Amino acid sequence: MASTIRVRATSNGDITEVQALIQHPMDSGFVKDARGEIIPPHFIQELTFEYDGRNVFVADWGPAVSKDPYVKFAFKGGKKGDDLKVSWVDNKGATDTTTAKIQ
Amino acid sequence: MTIKDNGFFATRRLILQGAGAVALVGLGNLPFLAPALAAANDKYPEEAFKAKNEADAVKALYGKTAEASDKVKIDAPEIAENGAVVPVSVTTTLADVSSISFLASENPVVLVASYKIPAGTVPNVANRIKLAKTSNVIVVVEAGGKLYSATKEVKVTVGGCGG
């Protein structure tokens, strides 16, 4: 299966800018479906970006992060061609991981 | 005085004693609680995501309260047509930032997202959040062990929580 994570990491020499877009329903548990039944909560809780063996960015998410979440941040360092590892885990224990090359 | 009254006073005394005991235990635990919170920073902040108001969420997350600061800048729309997808970003000129959190005052779960900013990571974050209705978006930044916050009202014409 194709990865749920799309990442673009670009380095300008000093700073690496990272944008990530993840496919996930991010159901909050407050929304009802067409039959009036509550859609159970299903959302990503933790999203981790790892570079060179250390975490450069960790997100703790609640149910109020939008569907197919997007996040953007930047960190100092990061060389072109190096790997950036991205992984998430949701409230049902599902996970996904991908590795992107810094451009 | 009737027996019923005695019962009332006895109960009242019990409750008062109970409250006193809770207060004592609470105070006694405080010095131990602070490092425990710091240590638990790496874990998912389950309790903070259960909080029903901003103050409780911030307390559960950091164990202290935030002061307003003009060094924290929120970029969010004045009016969001679709509450399900509201782009919000934050930048700060504060040094030594270790954490940035997003809260929405009128959401059923006020804490939206909390980001850990390790040393070397730029304290600017952009994300997209859901707003149940028109509410204050609050960003709390932890810098140098202190908390700073900024607030911006976002008007929502269609809520992000269905119903």
Measure the CA–CA gap between B12 and B10, rounded to whole angstroms.
5
- Containing structural domain, residue B146: 44-156
| CATH architecture of the domain formed by A5-101 | Sandwich (2.60)
Based on the structure, what is the number of domains in chain B? 1
Q: Among all residues of chain A, which has the CA nearest to that of B113? A: A61
With an 8 Å Cβ cutoff, is B92 touching chain A?
Answer: no
Q: Which CATH number goes with the domain that contains B49?
A: 2.60.40.2470
Sequence-separated (6 or more) residues with CB below 8 Å from residue A85: A48, A49, A50, A51, A97, A98, A99
Residue B34 placed within a domain:
no
Distance from CA of A82 to the nearest CA of B (A): 17
The shortest CB-CB distance from A76 to any of B122, B162, B163 is to B122
A6-65: pLDDT as tens digits: 999 999 989 999 999 999 999 988 888 889 899 999 999 999 999 999 999 999 999 999
Domain boundaries in chain A? 5-101
> Given CB atoms, is A62 within the 8 Å cutoff of chain B?
yes
**Subunit contact A72:B89, Cβ cutoff 8 A:** yes
Minimum-distance CB partner of A62 among B89, B111, B132: B111
Give, for all 163 residues of chain B, the pLDDT tens digit.
445 555 555 555 555 555 554 444 444 444 444 444 443 446 889 888 888 888 889 999 999 999 999 999 999 999 998 899 999 999 999 999 999 999 999 999 999 999 999 999 999 999 999 999 899 999 999 999 999 999 999 999 876 665 4
Query: Are A63 and B109 in contact (CB < 8 Å)?
Result: yes
ipTM reported for the complex, 2 dp: 0.91
Q: What is the pLDDT of residues A50-72, one digit of tens each?
A: 999 999 999 999 999 999 999 99
How long a stretch of residues is chain A? 103
Go through B21-32 and write b for each residue having 16 or more CB atoms within 10 A of its CB, e for each that does not: eeeeeeeeeeee
